[in-house]
Amino acid sequence: MSQYISGAEALMQSLIHEGVKTVFGYPGGSIMPVFDAMFDHKNDFKQVLVRHEQGAAHAAQGYARVSGEVGVCIVTSGPGATNTITGISDAMLDSTPIVVIAGQVGASFLGTDAFQEVDFVCITQPICKWSYQIRRPEDVAWAVARAFYIARSGRPGPVVLDFARNAQVGKVEYQPASIPVQRGFIPVPDTDANSIVEAARLINEAHRPLLLSGQGVTLADAQEELLAFVEKADIPVGCTLLGLSTIPSAHPLYKGMLGMHGNLAPNVKTNECDVLIAVGMRFDDRVTGNLATYAKQAKVIHLDIDPAEINKNVHADVAVLGNCKQTLALLTEAIKPAKHTEWIESFEPLHEKECQAVIEPALFPKEGPIKMGEVVSMVSAATKDSAVLVTDVGQNQLMAARYFRYTTKRSMISSGGLGTMGFSLPAAIGATFGAPSRTICAFMGDGGIQMNIQEFGTIMESGAPVKIILLNNNYLGNVRQWQQLFFNGRYSCTPMVNPHYGTIASAYGIPSQAVTQREDLPAAIDKMLSTPGAYLLEVAIQEDENVMPMTPPGGTVSQMLPFDSIQ
C-alpha cells in the first residue's frame, strides 16, 4: 500500500530498492533533509562521513571498481557539489559507475544567485553520462531508477542528480520505479554475425597474433571468457594499466603491461604482430605512443561495447561490437585451436633483456637506498599476490603497476585516464567497503598523500582497514623524472619539504612505522599486514630513481629507454 512521504525519504527508499549498501557523503544546508532522512536508515546501508567531497567521489569509485556495483555519494550544493567534479571526471574517463547526488537550492530560487547555488547540471553534462535536476518529489523514484540504470548499463560511467530542496521536503505518494525505457539509448549494440566470422578468419590465419586486454574485460566480468579464448588460440596477452588483473600474472600467456612504462616485450611485439586483437581498451596515447608508427603491419580486430571507440585512434580492420563477455565467447566458438610456439618464445629474449637491465636491479639491489620496485614486490609477496592494489598517480603508480602481481580479478584500482593525484587514499577507503574480506594495499607518494590526507579522519571514524604504503623520495617524482630527462635537470617546484607523516597518522589513531634501512623492510611489512585495521608504512626510497623502461613522449612503443637497440 502506497503512502505519502517526503522526497528525501523517497530517495532513501529508492536507494534501498536499488540495493545500495554503502553511501559516502558530506552534509550541508541544501541537502540537510536528505541527511535527516538518512538518520532513520542506519541499518539499511552504511553511511560513511568523508572529510572532503572529492574524497566522497573517489571513495565511491574505489567501492565500484572493486565490487562491480554502483558507488554512491551524497553532498550539498555549491562548493560541496563542485568539489566532486574531479571524481566525476575521473569516473567518466575510467568508465566507473557512480551516482553523485547533490543538494540544490529550491526551485523558486534557481537563477537568483542564491546562497551556494551553482548550475551543477550544466557544469557536469560534459563529464558524465547523464545529469538531471530533480525539481519535484514526484520525480525522485523515476530519476533514481534511471540514474542507476544509465550508470551501470552498457559502458558504465558517472551520473549526476541535482536535488532541489523543495523536492526533498515536498510530499509524494511513493512507488518504486522500474527501469524506464530510454528512447535512443542503446547500452549494448547488436553484434554483427559477419564481424565474428571475419575476426575468426583473421585469427585462424594469423602467425603472430597479440591480444591487448583492457578494463572493459573487468567491467564485463569476462576474465574467464578471455582465458578460454587465448588458451584455445594460443595468443600472448599484454594488459593496459587498468586491464591489469584481467589475467593472472603467472599465466604463461601473460607477457606484461603495455604502454609508456610497460614491459619491453609486449610493446616491441605490438609492432611485429600480424593480427592485433584489442579487447575493451581505447588505444590511449600512453599505450600507443606515436600513432604514425603504431602497429602499421597488423590487421586490427577491436572488440568494444562503445561504437565511439571504433576507429577513434586506431583503424580497425574488423570491429566487433557488443559486450565482450558475449563476443569473446562467440569468437572462442568460431576459431580453431592453434599453437604459436615460435612466436610466443620470441618474447623471451626481450623479457630477459629487460630483466637484466631494469627488473633485477629494481627488485634485487645489492646496495644503496631502497628502491620502489623492491617495496612493491615484497608487499605483493607478503599478501600471496592476492591483495587489491590501489595506486595514486606518478612513479608510485607505475612502479606498483609493474611489480605488483595478481591472482584474482578486480585487483587493480588506479586513476588511468585523468591521472588524479590524491586518488589513492579515498579510493582505498571505498574499496575496503566494497571488498571487506580482501586486503587493500594503497601505494602513494609524498606528493599525492598530501592532496587528500584529510581522509585519515575518515579512516579514524569508519575503521577502514587500509594498508597505506608511502613511497617517500622527497620529490614530485614523476615530474622530477621528466625534468631530468627532457628539461635539462631543471628541478622547478619538484623538491618537497615534507611533514612527519607518522606524527600526523598518530593524531588520527593510525599506527605507523618509518623504514630507512633495507634490512628492516621485511619485518615492517609483516607488522603492517598483521596489525588489525589501518596502518601507515612509510619507506624512504632512492630520491633520483626513475621508472624504466620508458617510451619518450612522441616516440614509438618499440623504442624504449634505456635500450639503444631493441634487437
Domain closes at, from 111, 143, 173:
173
Q: Say what the pLDDT of residue 3 is.
A: 79
Domain closes at, from 143, 173, 203:
173
* CATH at residue 233: 3.40.50.1220
Same domain membership, residue 73 and residue 168: yes
Residue numbers of the chain with a pLDDT score lower than 70: 1-2, 180-181, 564-567
CA 512 to chain centre: 26
Same domain membership, residue 528 and residue 440: yes
Which domain covers residue 135, as residue numbers? Answer: 4-173
Q: Is residue 354 part of a domain?
A: no
Per the CB < 8 A criterion, the answer to whether 158 and 151 are in contact is yes
Same domain membership, residue 201 and residue 166: no
Q: Is residue 553 part of a domain?
A: no
Per the CB < 8 A criterion, the answer to whether 36 and 8 are in contact is yes
Same domain membership, residue 205 and residue 289: yes
Q: Is residue 548 part of a domain?
A: no
* CATH at residue 375: 3.40.50.970
Q: Is residue 560 part of a domain?
A: no
Query: CA 326 → CA 168, 234, 396, 457, distances in Å?
Result: 41, 20, 35, 43
Distance CA 249, CA 247 (A): 6
Same domain membership, residue 70 and residue 29: yes
Same domain membership, residue 310 and residue 267: yes
Distance CA 74, CA 38 (A): 11
Distance CA 394, CA 420 (A): 9
Give the CA-trace dihedral at 422, 424, 427, 431, to 10 degrees.
-170
Q: Is residue 178 part of a domain?
A: no
Same domain membership, residue 293 and residue 390: no
The DSSP-derived string for 380-397 is HHHTTT-SEEEE-SSHHH
Same domain membership, residue 169 and residue 203: no
Distance CA 53, CA 84 (A): 6
Same domain membership, residue 454 and residue 397: yes
In the chain, how many domains are there? 3
Taking only Cα atoms into account, the Rg of the chain, rounded to an integer number of angstroms, comes to 24
Same domain membership, residue 227 and residue 344: yes
Q: Say what the pLDDT of residue 185 is.
A: 82
Q: Say what the pLDDT of residue 566 is.
A: 41
Residue type, 83: N
Q: Say what the pLDDT of residue 40 is.
A: 97
Q: Is residue 408 part of a domain?
A: yes
Q: Is residue 562 part of a domain?
A: no
Q: Say what the pLDDT of residue 341 is.
A: 98
Query: CB 371: neighbour CB atoms within 10 A?
Result: 22
Same domain membership, residue 234 and residue 87: no
Q: Is residue 566 part of a domain?
A: no
Same domain membership, residue 460 and residue 416: yes
* Burial letters 468-496, b for 16+ CB under 10 A, else e: bbbbbbbbbbbbbbbbeeeeeeeeeebeb
Distance CA 535, CA 508 (A): 11
Tell me what percent of the chain is helix, strand and coil, each rounded to the nearest 5. 40, 20, 40
Reading the block at residue 530, the C-alpha cell is: 598483521
